[in-house]
Structure 1
Amino acid sequence: MPPNAKWVDLAAHIRKQIASGELSPGAKLPSTSQLCAEHKVSAIVVRNAMIALKAEGLVVGVPGVGVFVVDPNEEQG
């Protein structure tokens, strides 16, 4: 079985952190550069992982501010 794409693994890692409560609702995710350094991946890998997590409704991006964990109890809109 071929290995997962790096962005798939990164998204799974962040998803697990959200599910476990390590990243709680409203928490700001590390910056792209921090995630690149921590996981030894490129910025495009981080970008693709964020796209996937946003599509799943787990995180929301605020331009110029950062990416935050969505509170499942709050109305998004």
Structure 2
Amino acid sequence: MPAKAKWAHIADQLRDQIASGQLAPGDKLPSTAQLREEHGVSAGVVRHAILVLQMQGWVEGVHGVGVFVAERPGA
């Protein structure tokens, strides 16, 4: 079985932190630079993970400010 893509691993980790309440709605995610350093990946890998989470409704980006945990319907 092929290894999971690095962006998918980062997205899964952030999704788990949100689902567990470790990151609450309105909390700011770590910066791209912080996530890049923590996971040893390129900025593009981190951006891809964030984009997937945005498309799934887990996070919302505010241009020039950062990425924040979204309010989850029914949460």
TM bucket normalised to smaller: over 0.9
Within 5 Å, give how 1:14-25 maps onto structure 2. Answer: 14-25=14-25
Where structure 2 has 5 or more consecutive residues not aligned to the other structure, the ranges are none
Look up the match of 1:6: 6
The alignment covers a number of residue pairs equal to 73
| Letter matched to residue 53 of structure 2 | L
Which consecutive aligned stretches of 4+ in structure 1 deviate over 3 angstroms post-superposition?
A: none
The CA deviation at 1:71 is 1.2
Look up the match of 1:37: 37
Inter-partner Cα distance in structure 1 for 2:19 and 2:42? 25
Inter-partner Cα distance in structure 1 for 2:3 and 2:42? 17
Query: What secondary structure sits across from 1:54 in the alignment?
Result: helix
| Letter matched to residue 67 of structure 2 | V
Look up the match of 1:63: 63
Where structure 1 has 5 or more consecutive residues not aligned to the other structure, the ranges are none
Inter-partner Cα distance in structure 2 for 1:41 and 1:34? 10
Inter-partner Cα distance in structure 2 for 1:16 and 1:41? 19
The CA deviation at 1:45 is 0.6
| Bigger mean CA offset, 34-43 vs 59-68 | 34-43
Identity between Structure 1 and Structure 2 (%)? 58
Inter-partner Cα distance in structure 2 for 1:72 and 1:57? 8
